[in-house]
Structure 1
Amino acid sequence: MIKFFRKIRYNLMEQNKTRKYFKYAIGEIILVVVGILIALQINTWNQDIINTSNEQNYLVGLKNDLEKQINAFNGSVEFGNIIIDIGESTLEDFSLTGNLLQIDSINSKLSKMMYSLSYPNIETTFNELNTTGQLNLIKEKSLRSKIIKYYQNSESNKESVNGNLQNVFYNQIFPTIKSSVIIHPENFRFNSKKINKALIREKLNVEFESNLVKPDKEFEIVNAISMVIIVTNTNIKHIQNSLEEAELLLKDINKELNND
């Protein structure tokens, strides 16, 4: 094609048709420019198709992450409420008996209050979007803002939960309860036929019972139970805040996916 145009130019020059040559040259330039513009437009269309495909993939990834996180949030709230119920029933029994030893299954109840309520953190897709600078692929600005805001708030709630666990639960509550119970692996969902629970309890029971009736130890344990209830309830509220925001964001993402 280039040789063809070049041959025409040579023929015009040889025939001394200057005006026609310039007209042809201008036409050739316009043709080249139009070709370039068409090529650029095609590239733009292709890139738009790629970007749209990537946006859909990321939205689906965010949707899957949120669905998993919502399930985890619900599980954490349910688990936290179980811990609170155990703590409240233990305090209720203590208020009636005035003696920790008279509370049924006190060792098991105290052991279960050694469980902590962690924050479910599932943000694989958002981290990829953020670290690769691909957040702008989400074309809908309001949705993009909601996504960023959700994960910022989620991070804040996670820090609050982790702060409560580290500063209050593990530093203050956990040591008190740990030093007050006979720890059986089965109380922590680990069963072993090799462990003689009855023998261990028999050997340690005297120390266990004498420890619980000490006024100062009793005081510490009752306060620790109350703190378990307070910390767990506080962390549940942080998780519920994220849960509500996650459900709203999931609806917006589903709406965007269905529109496409």
Structure 2
Amino acid sequence: MFHFFRQLRRKLLSNSQLSRYLFYALGEIVLVVLGILIALQIDNWNDQRKLQARQATLLTDLRSDLQETLDGLQFGKSLNAHTVVQYRFLMDAIDQNAPYSEQIDSAMAWLPMFHVPRFTRTAYESLKSQGVDILTNRTLKNQIANLYENEFPYLKEDQTQLEWSLHNTDKPVYINRYLRYRDNGDIMVFPVDFEKIKADTGFINFLATLIAIRAAGIEFYERTMAKTEEVIAGIDRELDNLE
């Protein structure tokens, strides 16, 4: 091919066909430019494919972490919701001056328990180390950042702190006063003096506060779960687009 062009160029020059030679030279320049542009376009395509592959890997890992977090939040919400049912049963029994029953023992057994949320951050930290701007979907990028930087910290550091505060102050007082741990080889049993509990205004106020904080926490669990599901759905759509 190049040998042919060289021969053609010599022939045109030897015949003094300057206009044709200029036309030929221009065509040769155009071919070179086109070749460069095609090479650049191929490089751009390759870079784009590499970027899409990196995004897909990061988003896949992030989705896995978020699903694990979502499963944990679902478990925590269910556990905390069950405790609220038990606490309200206990409060109703006190309000109605009900006699002691084994069901009251069962309800009291849930007093020390509450769920602390855990968030899997491995993929998000990897994303931050590479630069969040690697994600080209701006809306999804903002949703992910908001979830990890605002929603998760609020549930763990703010809402849960209310539980920890009560757990470390009033709760031990009443647990030590009215509950006795006993290992029967299967579960911990909690014999209680229910008549003293019904007469203890401090315990009743503590129980009411516990119910209010726990119920509010469940609402924040639900809100965080909804935000997490929204981001997972956005990741799924973006992964489809990257295929």
Distance 1:214 1:250 in 2: 46
Q: Is 1:80 matched with 2:80?
A: yes
TM-score, with structure 1 as normaliser: 0.69
Partner of 2:7: none
1:179 aligns with 2:176: yes
Rounded to whole Å, the distance in 2 between the matches of 1:106 and 1:67 is 36
Is the CA contact 2:58–2:123 (under 8 Å) kept in the aligned structure 1? yes
Q: Counterpart in 2 of 1:246?
A: 228
Choose from 131, 137, 141 the match for 1:133.
131
CA distance in 2, matches of 1:154, 1:88: 28
* Larger mean Cα displacement after TM superposition, 51-60 or 176-185: 176-185
1:229 Cα deviation from its structure 2 partner: 1.0
> Within 5 Å, which residues of 2 pair with 1:46-57?
46-57=46-57
- Tell me, yes or no, if the aligned pair for 1:117 and 1:232 is still in contact at 8 Å: no
Q: Distance in 1 between matches of 2:98 and 2:202?
A: 14
Q: Report the RMSD for the aligned CA atoms in angstroms.
A: 4.1
What fraction of aligned residue pairs are identical, expressed as a percent? 19
- Distance in 1 between the 2:236 and 2:37 partners? 37
Distance 2:160 2:29 in 1: 67
* Alignment partner of 1:258 is 2:240: yes
Change (3 A) 1:52 1:174: same
Q: Please give the secondary structure, in 1, of the residue aligned with 2:61.
A: helix
1:42: Cα distance to partner?
4.4
Residue 11 (structure 1) aligns with: none
Question: Equivalences for 1:1-260 in 2 at 5 Å?
Answer: 41-97=41-97, 102-137=100-135, 139-151=136-148, 152-166=150-164, 168-180=165-177, 181-185=179-183, 191=186, 209=193, 213=196, 218-259=200-241, 260=243
**Mapped contact 1:62–1:125 kept (Cα < 8 A):** yes
Change (3 A) 1:214 1:123: closer
Unaligned runs of 5+ in 2: 1-21, 23-27
Unmatched runs of 5 consecutive residues or more in structure 1 = 1-22
**Is the 1:173–1:227 Cα contact (8 Å) retained in structure 2?**
no
Query: Displacement, 1:89?
Result: 0.5
Alignment partners' CA distance in 2, 1:30 and 1:98: 96
Change in Cα spacing, 1:163 to 1:129, as seen in structure 2 (3 Å) is same
Change (3 A) 1:220 1:49: same
Q: Matched residue pairs, number? A: 230
CA-CA distance at 1:32 after TM superposition: 9.1
Kindly provide the CA deviation profile for residues 144-175 of structure 1, in whole angstroms up to 9, marking residues without a partner as x.
Answer: 12221222222222222222122x32233321
Letter in 2 for 1:256: E
Question: 1:87 Cα shift?
Answer: 0.3
- For 2:90 and 2:215, the matched residues in 1 are separated by 16
Cα displacement string for residues 199-243 of structure 1 (whole angstroms, at most 9, x for unaligned residues): xx8xxx7xx64x962787x22322222222112112111111111
* Greater Cα shift, 103-112 or 224-233: 103-112
Residues 38/184 of structure 1: CA separation in 2 closer, same or farther (3 Å cut): farther
TM superposition shift of 1:114: 0.5
Question: 1:249 Cα shift?
Answer: 1.6
Cα pair 2:111 2:175 within 8 Å, conserved: no
Equivalent position amino acid for 1:69 in 2: T
Which whole-Å CA distance do the structure 2 matches of 1:116 and 1:70 have between them?
17
Distance in 2 between residues matched to 1:231 and 1:183, nearest whole Å: 25
Could you say which residue in structure 1 is the equivalent of 2:19?
Answer: none
